Amino acid sequence: MKIILSSINERCHWRKANPGKLNKARMWVNREMGTFVSGLGGESVRHPCIKFDCPGIFLRDGVHFTNLGNDMFLSNLKQSLEATI
Q: What is the arithmetic mean of pLDDT over 6-34?
A: 92
Judge whether 8 and 30 are in contact, CB under 8 Å.
Answer: yes
- Say how many C-beta atoms besides its own lie within 10 A of residue 58's C-beta: 23
Q: What is the arithmetic mean of pLDDT over 24-41?
A: 96
62-81 residue pLDDT tens:
889 999 999 999 999 999 99
Q: Which domains does the chain have, with CATH numbers?
A: 4-84 (3.40.50.12700)
Judge whether 50 and 10 are in contact, CB under 8 Å.
Answer: yes
- Distant-in-sequence, close-in-space partners of 15: CB < 8 Å, separation ≥ 6: 63
For the cut 90, the answer to whether the pLDDT of residue 19 exceeds it is no
Q: Read off the pTM.
A: 0.85
Q: What amino acid occupies position 75?
A: S
